[in-house]
Amino acid sequence: MTDNVQSQRQPGMFAQLARFPRAFWMVNLIEMLERLAYYGVRVVIPIYIAQADEPGGLHFSQIDKGIIFAVWALVESLVPVFSGGFADRYGYKKTIGASLTIYIIGYLIMATQREFWPFLFGCVILSIGVAIFKPGVQGTLAKTLRNEDSSIGWGTFYMLVNIGGFLGPPLAHFLYGLSWPMVFYGCAIICSLNYLMLFTYKEVESGSDKSAGVIAIAKMTFRNMMRPRLVVFILIMSGFWLMFNQLFDMLPNFIVDWIDSSNIVAALHLPGFMTVDTSRGTQIAQEWMIDVNSGLIILLVVYISWLVARMRRVHSILIGITISSVGLVLAGFTTAGVLCIIGIMCFSVGEML
């Protein structure tokens, strides 16, 4: 009897997936294309900016790279606080469309500028595009999900996000083989495909007051930010994002300079498109090592989301942050390629929780 009641309360995983509306799937595809373009740039840009021996790179200092990434993260984190209210007010599709235009401008500036300040300006424009894009996508998803479907719904979203993230590094590997500017031009073209995707579904109404002015929206946003539970959640997640950014900001340069994965290449007979020749022998290209993160999430995130659906969210977050911390320390603790990959895998499991 108890088993029957529980099965009625929580339908099977595929039954839950089947009842998601069209808008849910289309917005997920938009996010997947956006992440393909974004991570096509993000996973190789530390090398482009600051790797001293990279042909065609900018050859900035590590301090310059740190400034660029700090400003990038600051803009990408703060702007959604305000752009979220405007997405509710003016419509999710309009917000997504506007953000795509800003994205493309950012990619084009980054492709053509080689001095510090103009390149930083391009990064800021790109980060503004990301910050405006997110509320439109996530607002649409939130309105299409019911409480009982939210865990697997967001798990599915995260899986598709990481399919885009997984394909981004090999795309970048191919594009920078042509030239570094082609990385940015190619990602701008991919991002522009989302203009067509906006015509594949109807607008999802936010339910917000459409008559509110700019000042009223800003006041409402500030009021909501001051809620104690939200402040605590932001502080907790800030710690996680501090770790997450190291995976893409610092680990790529560390892998290129210090990690020895030649034994893995020899043991697995990896194909040439996954490797790079160095003075230390043939190594796994850093973007493919980072790609372990997205690959593992694609395989496991929907199932893990379904498993932890009944776990208290605070417990899940704390366990996940602990596992991710251990994984990140392990990834940077030695020069052994195997341990670095295991560390990235541990980090990925914590990220899913």
The three state secondary structure string of the chain is CHHHHHHHHCCCHHHHHHCCCHHHHHHHHHHHHHHHHHHHHHCCHHHHHHCCCCCCCCCCCHHHHHHHHHHHHHHHHHHHHHHHHHHHHHCHHHHHHHHHHHHHHHHHHHHHCCCHHHHHHHHHHHHHHHHHHHHHHHHHHHHHCCHHHHHHHHHHHHHHHHHHHHHHHHHHHHHHHHCHHHHHHHHHHHHHCHHHHHHHCCCCCCCCCCCCCHHHHHHHHHHHHCCHHHHHHHHHHHHHHHHHHHHHHCHHHHHHHHCECHHHHHHHCCCHHHEEEECCEEEECHHHHHHHHHHHHHHHHHHHHHHCCCCCHHHHHHHHHHHHHHHHHHHCCCCEHHHHHHHHHHHHHHHHC
| Confidence check: pLDDT of 315 > 60 | yes
The CATH architecture assigned to 12-201+214-226 reads Up-down Bundle (1.20)
For 325, phi and psi rounded to 5 degrees?
Answer: -60, -45
Read off the pLDDT of residues 148-162 as tens digits, 9 standing for 90 and up.
677 778 878 888 888
Name the range with the highest mean pLDDT among 77-91, 229-243, 247-261.
247-261
Computed over every residue of the chain, the mean pLDDT equals 85
pLDDT at 289 over 90: yes
pLDDT class of 340 with cuts at 50, 70, 90: very high
Q: What is the percent of the chain where pLDDT is above 90?
A: 41
The pLDDT of residue 38 is above 50: yes
> Where exactly are the structural domains of the chain?
12-201+214-226, 227-353
Output the pLDDT for position 87. 76
Whether the predicted model's global pTM rises above the 0.75 cut: yes
- Burial class from Cβ neighbours inside 10 Å (0-12, 13-18, 19+) for residue 46 reads buried
Range 273-290 average pLDDT: 90
**pLDDT of 8 above 60:** no
Model confidence over 161-204: pLDDT tens digits? 889 888 988 898 899 889 999 999 999 999 999 999 999 888 88
